[in-house]
Every structure is written in C-alpha cells, then in structure tokens.
Amino acid sequence: MHITEFTHALADRMPGWQPSPTSVPLADDPASNRIWDTGPLPYATFSTEGFHRSVLTHHWGLQLYVMPRPHRPDEYLVLPMLPGNTSHQHVQGLRAPRGVTVPSDPARAAAQLRRRLLLDYRFTSATAIRRSSPGQLQVHVAFDARRRLRIRTGYIGVFNDLLAHGGFLLDPATGECHLPDTLAPEETRRRLVQGLQRLRYRGFHVTVDSPDGPRSHPPLAQPDLRRGHRR
C-alpha cells in the first residue's frame, strides 16, 4: 500500500485527523526537524533514497510523521511531531511521546496508535503549546519571504478554529497555520479576515506584521443580540 493511500485510510479511522494530500521525499525534508521523538527510527534512515513520508494533522495543532519502515515492507513508522507553534525548547523537561511501529493494515494501525501513542501525545502537547504562547490571548500574523500568510499562536482553541472551521492548514516544516497556496488572492484575504474576526470576537488580540511595523487589532465586543430583538 502506497504511503498516501495508507495515511488516507488511517485518517478515516481516526476522527479529527486529516492526511496531507501528497507525499514528500524524505531526503532533505525540513519537516523531519520537527519530529519530537524518533522512537525506533535512526536518523540515518532519512538518507535512504526512494522513501516518501506523509503527515497526519489534528485540528488541535498536532501532527504525526508517517513513513515506511526501512527493510520492513509490511510496517510503517508513526512519529509524533512538535505541536504547532512550538520548538524543541518548549518541550525541554517533558517526557516525549515515543514514535511507534504499526502494521500496514490501517484498521490495526489505528487501534495501536490509539492504545500506544495518541493519549500520551495529546496530554503532553497541551503543556508544550501553552509554553509557546507569545502572550495573553495573542495571535501573531506574519508573512514569509514569498509573502505567504503565516499565523502563530499558543492556544489549542485557535488551532481548532482555524484548522477545523477556517480552511487553514498546519505547515509541517514550521508549525505555523496558513491558507492553501492554491487559493486566489481575493479568497485568501476573505478567509483571513473572517478567521481573524472570529478570533477577535472570542477575545484574542491579533498582531499583524506590515512594512510600516506591527498593527494591533484588539478583541471585538460581542454583538448584543437582545438589542436586535427589542426592535
């Protein structure tokens, strides 16, 4: 079973998880630097030619690195990645959830992941994400060298809103939220404005980087629905 087919079948059996649409060659994969714990995987494996990886993403800002196990055609390696917006400094002192080996049968693999990895991974990730918070209820919007939108936050609720409801993705290489590159500029702007407005209504303070310096967008007051009913 091809890696893409396997991760799609795995995601079908794991509510809340979404597979990456395509696989990526392991060689020089920047996302491998965000693997939290390799478990049974030696780093030398990443120099193996012909291997591809896929990533499963949960809307809480969690990701699993999935790749074939070298020399074991009937097994895959599933490795927990650093949660969104975190780096290795945010997990210092935490007991890392271990990467695991699973069979190529998606049903059996999903059952083993639930039993051996997911609970521990979710519990420990919450602490790491809180440590990465840039400030009280802060969301930071920036643009990379290609002027692509990138959002950083240390709150699971923001990940849930953007990933589960806003159509955003989580970049495996950086741990930042972004919109699909395939969107037209007008659609990108519309989704960004809608997503940030939802967060501001929930009490988050949004800071947007611009050529003129950071622009601050404080929380918005919730509309008074009772006033509309009295009219």
Query: pLDDT 10s per residue in the chain (231 long)?
Result: 789 999 999 999 999 999 998 888 887 789 989 999 876 565 545 556 678 899 999 999 999 999 988 878 889 999 999 999 999 999 999 999 989 999 999 999 999 999 999 999 999 999 999 999 867 899 999 988 888 889 999 999 999 999 999 999 999 999 999 999 999 999 999 999 999 999 999 999 999 998 888 899 999 987 665 554 454
The DSSP secondary-structure symbol of 140 reads E
Residue whose C-alpha is closest to residue 10's, from 84, 108, 115: 108
How far apart, in whole angstroms, are the C-alpha atoms of residue 152 and residue 182? 21
Half-sphere exposure of 113 (CA within 13 A, CB side): 29
How far apart, in whole angstroms, are the C-alpha atoms of residue 83 and residue 170? 10
CB atoms near residue 209 (< 10 Å) = 13
Distances (CA, A) of 57 to 109, 187, 223: 16, 23, 33
Q: The dihedral of CA 131, 134, 137, 138: what is its sign?
A: negative
